[in-house]
Structure 1
Amino acid sequence: MSVIAEISIPSTEFELGRIMDVSDSGTVELESLVPTGERAVPFFWVYGADFEAFEETVFEASSVEDLVEIDTYDDRVLYTFEWSVENDAVFRTIRSVNAYILNATGTGDSWRFELRFPSHDAMSTFQERCRESDIGFEVIRVYNPSKPDLGPWFGLTERQREAIVLAVEEGYYDIPRDCTTVELAEQLGISDQAVTERLRRAIVRLVTNTILTSHET
C-alpha cells in the first residue's frame, strides 16, 4: 500500500537546491519534471526573488543547459532548463524507489517535498539512501491515503484547489466548453501551460486520494 511523506531538506544538501538559490526573499515552486533519459526538464515558478542573480547562479551550474524564461507575471517568472538528474542524489534516489513528486517548494534555506512512495519499504529505502549520501532531512508528516488525514480538500494544495474549482465553475469541463485554459490563466494570473499542469496535478491527486484509495482498501 502506498504512503505519502512530507519531507524538508536543506537547500545546500542537494544540487538542485544549490542551483536554485533564491536567497531569503524568494520562493521556488516546481511545476513539473519531465524525464528525458538521464536528464530531466524541470518547469518551475520563481516568486519574489532577485531574478538577475538567480539566473546568474543557474547559468554557472555545469549540469544545467539552456535556462529559458517561459512566462512572467507580476512578481513571478516561469523558467525551464535541461538538467542532469544523475548529479543530484535526492532526485536520483526519488527516481530509484519509484516515488512520485506531488509537490516541491523551495526557499533560501530549505525545500519541502511531498512524495508518494509505492510502499513503506520504498520510503524506508529512500531514507536509508539519503543517510548513506549524508543528506540531512526532516520527516514532517507521513500518512496513508486510505486514512482520513487529507484535510478538507483530499490532499489538494490551495493553488490546485483554486484552479480546479475555477475550471468547474467557469465551465471548462462542460460539453461544449464554456471557457479555455487561456481564460482561466488570465483569472489566476499564471500561464496557460501552468493552468494545464495545475489541473493535471489536481486530478491526479484527487484520483489518488479517492478512487485509488478505495481500490487499495
Structure 2
Amino acid sequence: MSSGDFELGRILAVEGNSTVELETLVPLGGTTVPLFWIHNASRDSFVDGVQRHPTVDGATAVDVFEDRTLFTLDWDANRDDLIGAVRANGGQILDGVGTPATWTFEVRFPSHEALSAFSTDCEEAGIELAVTRVYNPSEPDVQPWYGVTEPQFEALTLAVRTGYYDIPRGCTTKELADELGISDQAVTERLRRAIAALVTYTLPVGDAER
C-alpha cells in the first residue's frame, strides 16, 4: 500500500534508501505502541519529522547501532484508519516494512470473512491494498502448496511448464495424461481441483468447496 494512505505511514516517512521495519505493534486495543527499526536514516532529522505530526506525543530511541536505530512511538492510533480496520476485524499485525513509497504488512485474521471485511473497510477509507498472498494455517492440508495435493501440484506445474495455458495451447490434456500415466478426464479433474484450491487459499473468497 502507499505510504501516504494511512496515518502511521505518513508519520514514519523516510527518504532515499531508508526503510522502516516494525519490530512489534502492541496491543491493538487501547493504546497502540509500535517499536520499529529505522535503517540508513539520520536519527535527528527523522525524530524531528515524526514529532511534528499532531497525533505523536514523542519518539524515543531505545537502541542505537551504526546503520539502524530502534525507536518507540507514543501516538494516538485512533486516528489511523488502517489500524482501526485491523482492530475492528480481530486482526493482528505480525510484520511491516516501509519504504519512501510503499508499505508491506503481514496481518493475521481469524477468518476469510474477517479479511474480506478488513479489505472493505480499507477501501471505504481510501486505502488501496494489494494482497500478495493469503495463507490459512488452520487447514492441515494447506502446506506447502496452499491446499493443492501432491498429484494436483504435479499436474498443474506440468500443465504450466508444457504450455497448456498458453495461447495457442502448447499441449493437450491427452498429452498431459500420457505424461502423468492417467486418463484425460483425470487430468481435467486434477487441474480443476488444483485451481479451486489455489483460489480458496490465496484469495478472500470465503470457504469455497474444493
- TM-score w.r.t. length of structure 2: 0.64
Which structure: larger Rg? 2
> Among residues 120, 136, 140, which one is paired with 2:132 in the alignment?
140
Question: Percent identity, aligned pairs only?
Answer: 40
Kept in 1, the 8 Å contact 2:2–2:103? The answer is yes
Aligned positions of 1:5-154 closer than 5 A: 9-35=1-27, 38-145=30-137, 146=139, 147-149=142-144
Deviation of 1:51 (Å):
2.4
Q: Secondary structure in 2 aligned to 1:86?
A: helix
Alignment partners' CA distance in 1, 2:125 and 2:32: 21
Q: Would you say how many aligned residue pairs link Structure 1 and Structure 2?
A: 143
Q: Secondary structure in 2 aligned to 1:32?
A: strand
Kept in 2, the 8 Å contact 1:99–1:115? The answer is yes
Kept in 1, the 8 Å contact 2:28–2:92? The answer is no
Deviation of 1:37 (Å):
5.5
Alignment partners' CA distance in 1, 2:145 and 2:97: 19
- Whichever residue aligns with residue 76 of structure 2, its letter is S
Q: Secondary structure in 1 aligned to 2:17?
A: coil
- Whichever residue aligns with residue 36 of structure 2, its letter is F
Q: Secondary structure in 1 aligned to 2:15?
A: coil
Per-residue CA deviation, residues 127-185 of structure 1 (Å, 9 max, x unaligned), is 0000111111111111212311489xxxxxxxxxxxxxxxxxxxxxxxxxxxxxxxxxx
Q: Which runs of 5+ in 1 are unaligned?
A: 1-8, 152-217
- Whichever residue aligns with residue 14 of structure 2, its letter is V
Structure showing the higher strand proportion among its residues: 1
The 1:34/1:102 distance shift into structure 2, 3 A limit, reads closer
Kept in 2, the 8 Å contact 1:24–1:109? The answer is no
Per-residue CA deviation, residues 48-80 of structure 1 (Å, 9 max, x unaligned), is 113222111101011111211111112000000
- Whichever residue aligns with residue 148 of structure 1, its letter is Q
Per-residue CA deviation, residues 80-130 of structure 1 (Å, 9 max, x unaligned), is 021111100001110111111121111111110011110000000000000
Q: Which runs of 5+ in 2 are unaligned?
A: 147-210
